Amino acid sequence: MTKRTGEGRLPGDPTPREVVARTIRVDHAGEYGAKRIYQGQLAVLRGTKWEPLLRHMQAQEQVHLDTFSRLIGQRRVRPTALLPLWHVAGFALGAATAMLGHRAAMACTVAVEEAIDEHYRSQEAALGEDEAELKAHIAQFRAEELEHRDIGLENEAEQAPAYRLLSAAIKAGCKAAIRISERI
């Protein structure tokens, strides 16, 4: 017997359609925000030895965003109304951390990707076999986000000034953005 999306839900829980819509909406918003973070970092770190790494990660985020943009249209999901906010906030976060140096930029990447790993893992668990394509995209993108985390760790993220504080603040912001973007 295969698991279906929404199986075992209780009264008041989102319907399977709502689960899928929230998943696509929030993932689209998150990938858009990630793209903007890298754009902000590149605005500051362009021409440095960090540029190729940032461009590599940005290119993968663009593929993720393109996938969720396609799914928004195909599945007739309303995107979050907060994209203008994520447009500014993502760029600002990327630029601000890059202004603190490459270590802080990499710490930002690590924090974001750790929050996204947890988020994608919970989405994979919530989706049933009836959403195999969506689940496969999330699994693939989660693996690539973990690659980004590893790149950040390999490039001195943990040596950033006030790493733990910076990481905790960024993770908290990501988790708040996730909760808000699922619904609005």
- For residue 54, give the amino acid letter: L
Per CATH, domain 16-183 is 1.20.1260: yes
Can you read off the two tokens belonging to residue 28? Answer: 């689209």
- The domains of the chain are located at 16-183
**Residue 1 · residue 161 · CB < 8 Å:** no
Per-residue pLDDT of the chain (184 residues; tens, 9 = 90+): 567 766 676 777 778 788 899 999 999 999 999 999 999 999 999 999 999 999 999 999 999 999 999 999 999 999 999 999 999 999 999 999 999 999 999 999 999 999 999 999 999 988 888 898 999 999 999 999 999 999 999 999 999 999 999 999 999 999 999 999 988 8
